[in-house]
Structure 1
Amino acid sequence: MSNFKKIIPFVLPYKKYAYLNIFFNILYALFSTLSFISLIPMMQVLFDQTKRNTTKPEFESIFKITDYLESYMSYKITTLTDNHGVQTTLAFMVAIIISIFLLKNLFDYLAMFFITFLRNGILKDIRNAMYKKTLELPLSFFSEKRKGDVISRISGDVYEVQTSFLSILELIVKEPLTIVFTIVAMFTISTKLTIFVFVFIPISGYIISIIGKQLKKKSTRAQEEQGVFLSTVEETLGGLKVVKGYNAEKYFNNVFQKSTSRFFNLSNNIGNRQNLASPVSEFMGITVIAVLLWYGGNMVLIDKTLEGAAFIAYMGLAYNILTPAKAISKASYSIKRGNAAAERVMEILEQENTITDIPNAVEKESFEEHIDIKNINFRYEEENVLKNFSLEVQKGQTVALVGQSGSGKSTIANLLTRFYDVQEGEIKIDDTNIKDLKLNSLRGLMGLVTQDSILFNDTIKNNILLGKQDATDEEIITALKIANAYEFVKDLPNGINTNVGDSGNKLSGGQKQRLSIARAVLKNPPIMILDEATSALDTESERLVQVALENMMQNRTSIVIAHRLSTIQKADKIVVMQKGEIVEQGNHDELLARNGVYKKLVMMQSFE
């Protein structure tokens, strides 16, 4: 239950609904028992077995409450029959029984009414917490996790936890109380018969417990498999052009179907094991009822120690235990499934976020002098990607990082923005270590344009507003003009209010990239990081984007990670990287004159 205890903080805002649910469940359990006890005087009137009592009884003590209630009931029935006749008495008894059943069902409805707010509130808050945590976790976490698995946890596992909480409330309040009140009533009617019944209950409980032993393990595997096929869907939709272009529909269809087949088998196994709980518990219960009929029948017919009307009500009470017992066995399996789901939910919520603000982190609103990268060693896994890397960027400079793929260029961008933290060395902005700055403050100083122009399924306006969320339409249009994008945006059906589609798929690569640049322009940060911003574009689009980039980089500090060397010839400093180390640095003309690595790269691209 440790995982469920960790969910309790999500219950606290809705505790009033939990209390109301418990209150009405208590009333339901009480009236559920009374509904069967009320049958006894009804049967006595029906079969003319009512003990006549013309003297109103006096209440003596709580320990004699049963005798008092029995005497009082027989007194009321005797008086009512003598004054108004047996038909009126019968009608009165029927009205009482109907009222008790009506109240019982009303309390049951009210209990479920209030628990709905509790369940849906928990569902909402856990999902919100998981999404917030997903946004906060570092990129390194998602490089090791399937996206579909995270989606599965936020949707399916959280829903499983929500339904399991309902089971817990039933397990600890409604059904056990129904059983307790019923057993008390059974003891009141016949202690001997009730003790006889209790010999059989532990046996049935043991048989039911055997069924559920493997349920949690199989539930965990089923939830993991759900993550696998959701990942397949997410990856397929993201790469649909490649799937269709390589006629790979059959391959991905097979991958998906194998995953859903495994989920199918696990779900059947879990479902059948869970479904077995109800018939087994009912069969065990009906066996107890059969034994009761034989033993209790002897008490009524032979020993004459029990009245017929009381025995019929007793049988009703005994059967009344079956429904909550079945519910408890089902709920216990649901809790096993929910515990497996809670484990997966808590794995995300308790995941340590290694990239956070230190206790006394400072705000920095402006960039004044320089960026200083000192003696950095960095590795994603075991091997260093950057080795003893040092670089200084003065305010207003454009510094380009070039080199072959895997030389560590993009890693610099990841470290500057603290998507990852350096293991050794430090990065300073104006002599302040970036780890001492608040994350929002650090990232507020920077604009980022990546190779993959990331747009969201929303309007052009809302995509660009990410740069500055309180910007006016005029500011957005100015940013679009600087980014060389307004020329195509103004011709769209709804202008800046045009929806760009999923991942911006209604636009060309060059158009998407110019919108990404417009977003960075609107933010207007003092430091701009361009991570291979033109490498995925054709020549015409590259020309337009390059002009946009040059417009944007004016009067600001820029770090340009470039694959195409033609785009960085005007840079103040070009840093040539090889296997995580700086092998050359200088401006374009100086590096050509050295006749080294940079010249070879230029010659290779010129030849291409």
Structure 2
Amino acid sequence: MKGLFKLLRRYIPPYKSYVILNVVFNLLGAIFGAFSFAAISPVLGVLFGTQKMVDQPVEWALTLDSIKHNFFYHISHVIELHGKESALVYIGGFMVIAVLLKVGFTYLASFMMVPIRNGVVRDIRNRIYNKILSLPIGFFTEERKGDIIARMTGDVQEIENSIMNSLEMMFKNPILIIISLVVMITMSWSLTIFVFLLLPVVGYFIGKVGKSLKKPSMSGQNKMGELLSTIEESLSGLRIIKAFNAEKKVTERFEGENHEYYSIMNKLMWRRYLAHPMSEFLGTLVIVIVLWYGGRLVLHHQGGLSAQGFITYLVFFYSIINPAKAFSTALYSVQKGLASMERVDMVLNAQNNIRNREGAKRVSEFNDRISYQDVTFRYNEDNVLKKVNLEIEKGKTVALVGQSGSGKSTFVDLLPRFYDVKEGQIKVDGVDIRDLNITDLRSLMGNVNQEPILFNDSFFNNIAFGVENATEEDVMNAAKVANAHEFIINTPNGYQSNIGDRGGKLSGGQRQRISIARAVLKNPPIMILDEATSALDTESEKLVQEALDNLMKNRTSIVVAHRLSTIKNADLICVFQDGEIVERGTHDELIAKDGIYKKLHGMQNF
């Protein structure tokens, strides 16, 4: 229950006005429900002739004795004037009005619950999504995408189904139970004490089963995350699966994980379905015990209960049983939901080490140079970059070449603070980038990557992505610079045509030119090009290279390249090997050195 209260403290405060109204309406519904049950006693008294006539009323007061006395007085008065049948009609009318008020207030209580339920689930989804966007890229290299998707979808859905569906019962049922117990105490305190001794024993057994649900629930949600990861990987790699005839292998892997999930959920549901029969059996057992004990009190004229009073007492007691059973069922569901909440909290409580320092400096322009000073970086234990030093002056184009895994992409990922350096520092205009506002720092840069990252949206929205108030003319001009305008206008809806999932309706060269147009529209002073042409055919490469040349005019550019022909005119070429810059200079200077660069150049020319 501690986890549930923690959840409520975190998410309920914005909806406290709804909670107060819900409690008030539930209280009124329980009170009028008690009045409708209380009318059973005089009905029985009238039918069996055991109801004592009350001759004189007492002064009205907000006490049970006063209300009861005056109610019996009015019944006695009706019996004297109109007979017992009329009294039954009178009492029946009173019960109908009381029940009408009860169900009316109960509906209003449920009405107030709807914004709480849906609002809390909405807030949880928003918090997870915002947290995911704020976390550093390094977090997602450790986690499986499918599992994160499972936490945003399946786990949040489980929180809604398990906790939020139960929340209404947890607000409503305790009030019903308390009101009924108060009435029961006034009717017979000795019998109610006996009931109080029984209920904790029943609650203990119900609690034991409820606690046993949490562990398999957590295992089930974890396994569902693995299943979604497998599905996501299979969809992404479908071309390779088919090309290598690996359908059987991936099917066996999926079916194995799916069977494990099946086994876990069997155990979970067997325990969950035990909730209703167990609570029903225990409830019946308690009623039988109360019936035996209360019957003895009536037969021996003890406890101050008459026969009709005892029947009324049983009606009130039975009215506790259903809320108690619903309450116990809610506890089972809550345990399952709390397991999902723990998985969600693993994301919400993840540490974000890349954030603004206190008093971070604002920056709006790039004026002088970028400096890498003794930069060392490692993902785990081995250094990927080792004391790298490099000065990049404004307006210059610096190219990074070298074998795969030599640290080139890591070098450029450190500049926008996708990761933070482990040792040394990177400065922009003489200021450590860790002292700059992250949003401002990234606003200075544009990225074009080897794999264009596009969204299932229109050409217009993909090019205008991240740029506020972009006009159609602005987008069109950016597309022209990127050699993309011609093929865009030849689509059925022009700039409003949808490009498909990840730009699936376009060729590789077209996707890359849309990515370049997006960078052109942003118009940043610093451009980072990470192997932007390496995956293209010769014709597409020519068009994209022209677009890149247009993009890099009058900008500071850092280019990661495998094809050396694309960076021949760079102001400075740095050759990376094992996380270090082993050669640097212009194309002609490096050829003259007859070192690693010349060897790479010769291999590509061959």
Q: Which stretch of the first structure deviates more once superposed, 298-307 or 382-391?
A: 298-307
Q: Shift in Å at residue 427 of structure 1? A: 1.0
Cα 1:499–1:167 change in 2 (3 A) is closer
- Counterpart amino acid of residue 51 in structure 1: K
Cα 1:572–1:277 change in 2 (3 A) is same
Secondary structure, counterpart of 1:457 in structure 2: coil
* Residue-by-residue CA offset, 1:520-564 (whole Å, 9 max, x unaligned): 111111111100001111111111111111111111111100011
Any stretches of 5+ residues in structure 1 without a counterpart?
none
Instruction: Indicate the residue corresponding to 1:210 in structure 2.
Output: 208
Instruction: Indicate the residue corresponding to 1:534 in structure 2.
Output: 533
Instruction: Indicate the residue corresponding to 2:50 in structure 1.
Output: 49
Distance in 1, matches of 2:470 and 2:194, equals 79
- Counterpart amino acid of residue 25 in structure 1: N
Cα 1:426–1:3 change in 2 (3 A) is farther
User: Any conservation in 2 of the 1:370–1:392 contact (CA below 8 Å)?
Assistant: yes
Distance in 1, matches of 2:78 and 2:392, equals 102
Secondary structure, counterpart of 1:493 in structure 2: coil
* Residue-by-residue CA offset, 1:572-603 (whole Å, 9 max, x unaligned): 11111100111111111111111110011011
User: Any conservation in 2 of the 1:4–1:339 contact (CA below 8 Å)?
Assistant: no
Instruction: Indicate the residue corresponding to 1:408 in structure 2.
Output: 407
Q: Shift in Å at residue 513 of structure 1? A: 0.4
Q: Does 1:579 align with 2:578?
A: yes
Q: Does 1:438 align with 2:462?
A: no
* Residue-by-residue CA offset, 1:124-178 (whole Å, 9 max, x unaligned): 1121111111111000000011112111222222233345554674565422222
* Residue-by-residue CA offset, 1:258-315 (whole Å, 9 max, x unaligned): 3333223222322221221222122112112223333433444564864332222122
- Counterpart amino acid of residue 44 in structure 1: G
- Structure-to-structure mapping, 1:305-316, within 5 angstroms: 306-316=305-315
Distance in 2, matches of 1:540 and 1:584, equals 31
Distance in 2, matches of 1:34 and 1:279, equals 30
User: Any conservation in 1 of the 2:170–2:330 contact (CA below 8 Å)?
Assistant: no
Distance in 2, matches of 1:299 and 1:6, equals 45
Instruction: Indicate the residue corresponding to 1:32 in structure 2.
Output: 33
* Residue-by-residue CA offset, 1:456-500 (whole Å, 9 max, x unaligned): 000010000015232211111111111111121111111111100
Distance in 2, matches of 1:527 and 1:357, equals 21
Instruction: Indicate the residue corresponding to 1:246 in structure 2.
Output: 244
Q: Shift in Å at residue 370 of structure 1? A: 1.3
- Counterpart amino acid of residue 470 in structure 1: N
User: Any conservation in 2 of the 1:29–1:175 contact (CA below 8 Å)?
Assistant: no
Find the partner of 1:259 among 257, 263, 282: 257
Q: Shift in Å at residue 408 of structure 1? A: 0.4
Distance in 1, matches of 2:457 and 2:250, equals 29
Q: Shift in Å at residue 567 of structure 1? A: 0.8
User: Any conservation in 1 of the 2:426–2:432 contact (CA below 8 Å)?
Assistant: yes
Any stretches of 5+ residues in structure 2 without a counterpart?
none
Instruction: Indicate the residue corresponding to 1:290 in structure 2.
Output: 288
Distance in 1, matches of 2:152 and 2:451, equals 26
Q: Which stretch of the first structure deviates more once superposed, 511-520 or 360-369?
A: 360-369
Q: Which stretch of the first structure deviates more once superposed, 522-531 or 213-222?
A: 213-222
User: Any conservation in 1 of the 2:475–2:521 contact (CA below 8 Å)?
Assistant: yes
Instruction: Indicate the residue corresponding to 1:545 in structure 2.
Output: 544
Q: Which stretch of the first structure deviates more once superposed, 201-210 or 276-285?
A: 201-210
Cα 1:27–1:255 change in 2 (3 A) is farther
User: Any conservation in 1 of the 2:113–2:168 contact (CA below 8 Å)?
Assistant: no
Q: Does 1:98 align with 2:99?
A: no
Normalised by the length of structure 2, the TM-score is 0.95
- Counterpart amino acid of residue 129 in structure 1: R
Distance in 2, matches of 1:58 and 1:511, equals 89
Secondary structure, counterpart of 1:589 in structure 2: helix
User: Any conservation in 2 of the 1:27–1:107 contact (CA below 8 Å)?
Assistant: yes
Secondary structure, counterpart of 1:466 in structure 2: coil
Secondary structure, counterpart of 1:416 in structure 2: coil
Percent pairwise identity:
49
- Structure-to-structure mapping, 1:359-438, within 5 angstroms: 359-438=358-437
User: Any conservation in 2 of the 1:467–1:520 contact (CA below 8 Å)?
Assistant: no
Q: Does 1:117 align with 2:115?
A: yes
Q: Aligned pair count?
A: 604
* Residue-by-residue CA offset, 1:38-85 (whole Å, 9 max, x unaligned): 2111111122222112222346x87xx444344322221111122223
Q: Which stretch of the first structure deviates more once superposed, 429-438 or 210-219?
A: 210-219
Q: Which stretch of the first structure deviates more once superposed, 80-89 or 598-607?
A: 80-89
Instruction: Indicate the residue corresponding to 2:17 in structure 1.
Output: 16
Instruction: Indicate the residue corresponding to 2:457 in structure 1.
Output: 458
Distance in 2, matches of 1:202 and 1:14, equals 32
Q: Which stretch of the first structure deviates more once superposed, 152-161 or 507-516?
A: 152-161
Q: Shift in Å at residue 256 of structure 1? A: 2.8
Q: Does 1:604 align with 2:603?
A: yes
Distance in 2, matches of 1:403 and 1:214, equals 56
Q: Which stretch of the first structure deviates more once superposed, 273-282 or 65-74?
A: 65-74
User: Any conservation in 2 of the 1:467–1:522 contact (CA below 8 Å)?
Assistant: no
Find the partner of 2:266 among 255, 265, 268: 268
- Structure-to-structure mapping, 1:128-167, within 5 angstroms: 128-166=126-164
Secondary structure, counterpart of 2:273 in structure 1: helix
Cα 1:473–1:584 change in 2 (3 A) is same
Q: Which stretch of the first structure deviates more once superposed, 584-593 or 27-36?
A: 27-36
Distance in 2, matches of 1:440 and 1:238, equals 31
Secondary structure, counterpart of 2:361 in structure 1: coil
Cα 1:342–1:145 change in 2 (3 A) is same
Cα 1:224–1:7 change in 2 (3 A) is farther
* Residue-by-residue CA offset, 1:223-254 (whole Å, 9 max, x unaligned): 11121112222222222222232233333333
Secondary structure, counterpart of 1:469 in structure 2: coil
Find the partner of 1:127 among 125, 128, 131: 125
- Counterpart amino acid of residue 390 in structure 1: N
Secondary structure, counterpart of 2:211 in structure 1: coil
Distance in 2, matches of 1:213 and 1:379, equals 43
* Residue-by-residue CA offset, 1:440-462 (whole Å, 9 max, x unaligned): 11111111000011100000100
* Residue-by-residue CA offset, 1:408-443 (whole Å, 9 max, x unaligned): 000111001110011111111111111111111111
- Counterpart amino acid of residue 532 in structure 2: A
Tell me how large the CA RMSD over aligned residues is: 2.0
Normalised by the length of structure 1, the TM-score is 0.95
Instruction: Indicate the residue corresponding to 2:467 in structure 1.
Output: 468
- Counterpart amino acid of residue 224 in structure 1: N
Secondary structure, counterpart of 1:448 in structure 2: strand
* Residue-by-residue CA offset, 1:332-375 (whole Å, 9 max, x unaligned): 22222222222222222222211111111122222112111111
Q: Which stretch of the first structure deviates more once superposed, 392-401 or 285-294?
A: 285-294
User: Any conservation in 1 of the 2:36–2:94 contact (CA below 8 Å)?
Assistant: no
Q: Does 1:518 align with 2:526?
A: no
Q: Shift in Å at residue 9 of structure 1? A: 3.5
Q: Shift in Å at residue 16 of structure 1? A: 0.8
- Counterpart amino acid of residue 154 in structure 1: M
- Counterpart amino acid of residue 408 in structure 2: K
Distance in 2, matches of 1:338 and 1:164, equals 5
